[in-house]
Structure formats: structure tokens, C-alpha cells
Structure 1
């Protein structure tokens, strides 16, 4: 791995892009222009001889090589940064809940810098209503919720999830493109579904938002993890509506195709939710999450 100060600077920029999910946020945090950040990334990719990110109109998605590089260099760069410009230490435990998929792919990587300042996190996975009930019962301190909570909570919008209808290329080729233009629900109703749960919450919302009715398609697989839903879709078991941050790598690789292109993509807002008096540690988590440029997920 490169050892000069210039190469170290490239790695710092890479890590900001990786953690922020966009060149724009990295440029802001580094105090550079976006073209400068793009140039540093291109130089690092040339040195390594590999692509580190898949570029999209809404940011970037890390490749497996980027995941590996971030795991190897991240802790060392953080220690060096702390030694040169230490941030205030944090003390205490914050119990935080969220959807397993979002927390695994985006939430925990975003919170990792706080643990290097001494904060300890206890993480719970679950559905929004269950997590909000635990927050109300004081079993959790913070919830990243996909539903807007009722009165009694403090909720701050964090970012928007964009949902895409995707399927394996073999299934995509069975769709009548002319009928898709005229009557998309009918053009797609022969396709089996892969669903998050039996009541088809995400798929049903997509169908109602875009087609004005419930789906008539039969589910072939029901599995309570969107990463497993994606795996089944890639394998050709059916189609599903998934958040862009999960589907993007498979789209870039050609493992799935977007079956329907709405004029206005369906969005769902994520909220950072707390209740009652908060601790300094909890406030630090909320402030840290709110300071990031998440873009549209």
C-alpha cells in the first residue's frame, strides 16, 4: 500500500467518500471541491488498478474491493486523525434500534466514528412499530424509524429511501413492453413476488403508489430480511420492490433489472426518533446522524 503523504491524503478522501456515500459530502467534510475529490479518487483507483465505487446520479455505491480497503485502512486512519486533531471523548451507552438492513448497510458504518471516541452502542433490530414501543417503554434511547411516530416522540427527518421494482433479467424479458406503457400492473401481474412478509407491505405500497391498486401477483418466497429478498430475486424466484441502496450494486452488476420506471420514484422518509429527556451520549448520536449527507437511499 502507498506510503507517501500524498497517498495518505488519497486514502483519507476515499474513506470520507465510503462513509458519506457521495463525493459531495466528502468534498464538504474535506474542504475541497467536488472535482478535486473526484480526481483524488480516480488517482487512487488508478494506483490500485480497480474500481472502488459504482457511480450513480444519487451518490456512489462501494464495490467489494472498497469494502475490504475501508476495513483495512479505516481504523488506522481514524487513530492517526484522532492523534492529530482529537475530538471530545464520549462516555456512556446508547441503545439504538432500526431495521436490520439499513443498520447493517448504512447505519452502523455511519456510527462507527463515535465508538472510537468512547461511546458504546447496543443495537436492536426490528420493525418500526415494535422499536417505537420499546422506545416508549424506555428500553431504547434512539430509533431510526421508517414510519412517522405518533405524539410523545421527537422525530427528525433523516433521509428518504427510494424504492425500485426489480427482477432477474430472465423474468424481465417476459414483460410485454408495449403493455407496460399502457397498463403496467397488468403487464407485470404474471410475475411471481418475493415478499418481506405475508401482507406484502413494501410491494403493496409500490403497487398502490404507482398503479393505484393492490398487486394480484402471488408470492413464491416470504422472508423477513430485504437482503434475503434481493438474493432470491437475483436467483430468479420472483420480483420485488427494494430500496435503492440495496438494489444498486446488483443493478450495476446486471444481476437484476429495473422493471418499471416511474416519473416520480416512490419514497419513504426515515426519522431519527427520541423520547423525553436525553443524555449527552444520545444527543451526540442524533447530532452525528443528522450532520451526514445521506442523499436519497
Structure 2
């Protein structure tokens, strides 16, 4: 049996789409379709059920993928491990949320680039979790940082770290509210105050209100800007309340530029996941970056 046909089959099985598999393999969709049909003729059994959106594996398809996938991944790992040291200088493409990627991920991975520029080379893209995972699925990225756990056989995801969210504001707002007022009254103590957020839907504030106050925010965003670093700057300037990751606002908290308005017994947390396409951890550049980030993340939590 042709290994190229099996490789294409596993790519389709993991991605659930001829189109997506073609992008991953650098082939045209007709070529992928032709290879799958050839393999099905050789086996004498259908491997996929064609649907309006993508394909669903048959029982035989699932069985073949379960048997063949790990062996193909091992062959990739063997092939990559036999490359010379130049393999370490390959470009690594990664994607993730702008703030976390800029503040946590990139400073960590720059240690792999080497002072002489002969180490890993990096290319980073910013976007939502959905955008990062879509790009990973299509082969545009090697690593994706996501706040949603990826589903499906195409991805292998590892929890990276948790970030704590805190309710903050400039000191003058805290003075106006009064100490312990939020703890005693809950959301009504701050629902009338202006909010700074990253989106009109108030994702950070809504998550905090639901987890801590068991309610929904009554106000709308006074300032909406799609970058948490800009939200922090606005909060420092006194524009209103904000919910921010503690790691991002920790320096401003230490300096007294902003203060926490509430310290709940169980603070809201958000988990980051490190995702790769299944089978690609055998590639040295991806494996090195993956291991490096996991090691660094133990100090982030």
C-alpha cells in the first residue's frame, strides 16, 4: 500500500475535510479526492461518507486511521530527527491572542532564536482563538495559543496555564466607591460606573460578573478597544472600571496606578491551551518550542 495514500487519508480523517487536508499537504483538492478514491478501490471499502460540509469517516475509516496514524507520525519523527542541525533554524509560525502572545509567548521563544541569529526563526500572527485554530488547521501556523480547548482528531492540545482576572480601576474610582462596598453589595455597587472593554459584548466583564456576582453587567462599554493593553492604559487614565488578567496589570497594581476593587474568594480563571496539528510534535522546531513554552508556563501560573 502506498504510504502517500495513507498520509493523505490520515490528513483527511484528522481534518474532516478534503479541502483542509489539501491545504495541509500542499496538494490540490482534486488530487486529494483522487488519492482517497484510489485507496478506497484498493481496500474495496468506503472510508468516508461525503456530506455537505466535509466528510465523516466510516467504521473502516476510523479503524484504519487508528492503526495507521501513530505509525505515520513515527515515520515523520524519524525523518525529521535525521536532519542535520540546520533543522533547528527552520521558521516556526505561531498564532495567538495579541496580549498573551506578546507578553508571555514571544519573550520566551526569543531565547530559542540565538544571539547569532542561527537558531529558530519566528513568525507570529495575532487573532482570536477561532482564527488561530483555523490557521493551524489549514497549515498556516505550527503552534496556536487558544483559550478554547480544540476539538477533533486534527489537533493535539495541552493546557498551558491559567490566568486570573481582576476587577480594577484608578484610585479615584476606588475612593468614590468606598472600601469593602463591592464585597458587601456586590454588582450594584459598581453597575452604574463606566466600563472599558475589548468588545461590545463585554466578554471579560460579563465573565467576571457571572462568576463572582452571579449576574450580568447593567452598563455598556464607555470605551471599547480591541487590545487589553489599551484597556489597561484607559483604566490607568481613569476612564472607568476594567477586568484584566492579573499578569498584565500586575506592574500597574504594584505602582498604585490602579487598584483592585474586589478580591473574591475564588477568582475567575481562564485557561490557555497550546495546540499543534496531531503528528507534528515529531518535528524538532515545533517540539522545542512546545517544550520550552510548557517549561516556562510553570512560572506563569
Instruction: Report the TM-score, using the length of structure 1 for normalisation.
Output: 0.68
- Residue deviations 1:237-271, cap 9 Å, x none? 11111001111111111110100110011111111
Shift of 1:100: 1.0
SS at match of 2:148: coil
d(CA) in 2 for partners of 1:226, 1:105:
11
d(CA) in 1 for partners of 2:167, 2:219:
13
- Unpaired runs of 5+ residues, structure 2, are 1-84
Tell me if 1:99 matches 2:97.
Answer: yes
- The alignment covers a number of residue pairs equal to 211
Shift of 1:183: 2.3
What's 1:221 paired with? 223
What's 2:267 paired with? 265
RMSD after superposition: 1.8
- Which of 169, 172, 176 is matched with 2:174 structurally? 172
Compare 144-153 and 258-267 and name the one that shifted more: 144-153
What's 1:112 paired with? 110
| Runs of at least 4 residues off by over 6 Å | none
d(CA) in 2 for partners of 1:268, 1:148:
11
> Which structure is larger by alpha-carbon Rg, 1 or 2?
2
Shift of 1:147: 1.6
What's 1:131 paired with? 132
What's 1:156 paired with? 158
d(CA) in 1 for partners of 2:242, 2:132:
25
Shift of 1:293: 4.5
What's 1:83 paired with? none
d(CA) in 2 for partners of 1:93, 1:207:
42
SS at match of 1:231: helix
What's 1:144 paired with? 145
What's 1:235 paired with? 237
Is residue 100–residue 225 contact of structure 1 (8 Å, CA) maintained in 2?
yes
Is residue 198–residue 226 contact of structure 2 (8 Å, CA) maintained in 1?
yes
Alignment of 1:55-66 (within 5 A): none
d(CA) in 1 for partners of 2:194, 2:113:
43
- Unpaired runs of 5+ residues, structure 1, are 1-86
SS at match of 1:174: helix
What's 1:207 paired with? 209
d(CA) in 1 for partners of 2:182, 2:233:
25
What's 1:283 paired with? 287
Instruction: Report the TM-score, using the length of structure 2 for normalisation.
Output: 0.67
